[in-house]
Structure 1
Amino acid sequence: MLDILLLRKDLPAAIARLETRKSPQPFLDVAAFQTLEAERKAIQTRTEELQAQRNQLSKQIGALMGKGDKDAAEAAKAQVAALKGELDGSAARLEQIQTELHAMLAAVPNLPHESVPVGADESANVEVRRWGEPRSFDFPVRDHVDLGAPLGLDFDLGARLAGARFTVMKGPVARLHRALAQFMLDVQTQQHGYTECYVPYIVNADALRGTGQLPKFEGDLFAAQKGGQDAEPVPDHAQLYLIPTSEVPLTNLVQGEVLPEGELPLRFTAHTPCFRSEAGSHGRDTRGMIRQHQFDKVEMVQIAHPEHSYEALEEMTGHAEAVLQKLGLPYRVMLLSSGDMGFGAAKTYDLEVWLPAQNTYREISSVSNCEAFQARRMQTRFKNAQGKNELVHTLNGSGLAVGRTLVAVLENYQNQDGSITVPEALRPYLGGQAALSV
């Protein structure tokens, strides 16, 4: 959530930055905001006047009682009572205005960092660097769907069990999927200092509001229905949702906390399934594992000091890159434009892995600095050197998406006979096995 003081201090400047995301910006009803702000200021000014009058009258009452002028004292008390009624009414209206302003701000995305390229969509993204050379094949390249089927990758069975965009994995391909997740966790915990966590796969609405998925993206979530179809509607505060990413529970581990400055940064990681009702654009990537309603991911989260969060962003991007490098998978790093970033991000790098069957790079990790956007929603702070509470910065990133890494390994390490060479870094996780074959 944005700091409302930014809007109060220089609304045109904030709107101009929001319009680099989308122009004209559709996120904030500026006229309604200005109307509420004008009323808020008027009420606060009037409240200060009433409080001053009440204080003055209270002093007069004491003086009048001391003189024995009971009639004048009672008259002053009546005035104080009348002022109390108006003050109570003003306080109630002010609370209502603050609630309305909070609801407005909940729909407004984060402001892009000054280093983010301005653009309407992914066409304005900037390539930062590349690693590795795509392999040249001397035989026709097959995609992961054809390669995976003999190894136990079954999309028809997934569809029969749950519908489109669900997958069943059996045998060698299931073992490879598990090995990838274990390998990623070991890299992030043993080499990069993350604390491994096991977290709920179902969370409440407060957790999703804290990281920015609610209220704006409720349609992208799978709500957990309790008590069957005939059950009474679940009130909002009790509604549960399947996690769209373990960023949600990991970041909310510090919800409402005041952390000692010396503990920062905190680094958390977890391997979980992720559930997304709207898994990408309609009609795009309907074949295979690129866009699924259920997929696995090893997530990285850092809770950082504001002065060091952009160093942490570069560090976390490197942590994701390390997995790809150890697997020998060519990739490129893209700096996302203002129009292509996620709702809560101030700056984002995407890692895109080379997929031979598509002859292009595809996203496999997204690493973002949300600055204080999520922390303000979660009320997560640290006590600074001056003893004052200050909002932390939160960062999140994939380290990596397990299913897409599986796709990349199958396609980049395929052999003419349909077998898959196992990357050397993965072989210890597969009992030393050097290849997967039927």
Structure 2
Amino acid sequence: MNAREIRQMFPILDQEVNGKPLVYLDSSATSQKPVPVIETLDKYYREYNSNVHRGVHTLGTRATDGYEGAREKVRKFINAKSTEEVIFTRGTTTSINTVAASFGRTNLTEGDEIVISYMEHHSNIIPWQQVAKHTGATLKYLPLQEDGTISLEDVRETVTADTKIVSIMQVSNVLGVMNPIKEIAKIAHENGAIMVVDGAQSAPHMKIDVQDLDCDFLAFSAHKMCGPTGIGVLYGKKKHLEKMEPVEFGGEMIDFVGLYESTWKELPWKFEGGTPIIAGAIGLGAAIDFLEQIGLEEIEAYEHKLAAYAMEKMSAIDGMTIYGPKEASKRAGLVTFNIDDVHPHDVATVLDAEGIAVRAGHHCAQPLMKWLKVSATARASFYLYNTEEDIDKLVSGLVKTKEYFSDVF
């Protein structure tokens, strides 16, 4: 893949920030959008904006075809068995909350266990806290190795016959760790538990095969993978979804409504109450087309190279602490770091003055920050439109930041 050519397809990157060419290194928070996705959204609103499923007129038919066509693209993208297993949601957070509210609260009781890890995003912690409070189940945390990775031996010790749900992110948004989901799912199933996967940081960057992983649920968001905001996916095995009750009720998801009782549509529509996120789904379909044209394997390999280059250059800066595995082959395309005696918000502010966008804060991972013994970190995350030149500018900006605060103090 040619990142310089790809970069030209992202118009937002062709601008200056604070008088400097923009270097966007915050794709783990949200990715930028390529022209094909922007044009697809524009075409929908200009040419066939309409509600779906209900209308028999031409615009309604075209919108329905686009919406359901996007569902089929998602099915192929993750290799689900059927489009019945693909539910459109508002994003990863809504997807995980749906599993927690519908499956978790119904199937768990006092004495049952939910297993997650210290590295989880808040959206994969709080829903399970609420399930535990509601049902009396116990929330357990997988310990982390010194470099932030998960040991399968620890998984075997933590997951027991009382465990009913294991919910783990496939890629850490802080440490860049790529977790062995397939192996963890096997251990979960051997103990009679289901496997929930937070794929927010993996779906944009690597090929996912839900049948190979044998996960029971997978959640991810479009906005991190070149698609629009406000649309995401919940994949679930049909055998689970059929038994689960909807968590939102109203139009579109019903079969029959009487005065005192109602019945639901079949999968996947029983989980999609109200007017769905039509433009978002169609935009997600366009993003999938874009990514697959480049190749997810190519994207993943390229980002490993960027991570290795960044680790090498950043490690040479005195006073730099980098979190997560030291081997670039064990991590995704992001680097989370701190500079001695400089608050990460100050780091991000100085870099912004150089036109460089990074993330600073707790990254919605406060338990992990506590485990790392820090209150916050800075993070540079890479995507298919970034180059080694971007990393060189980042390193130069970090050196300036260090020098600036050395002079001040």
The reply to whether TM is greater than 0.5 is no
TM-score when normalising by structure 2: 0.25
| Structure with more relative contact order (C-alpha pairs < 8 Å, separation 6 or more) | 2
TM-score when normalising by structure 1: 0.24
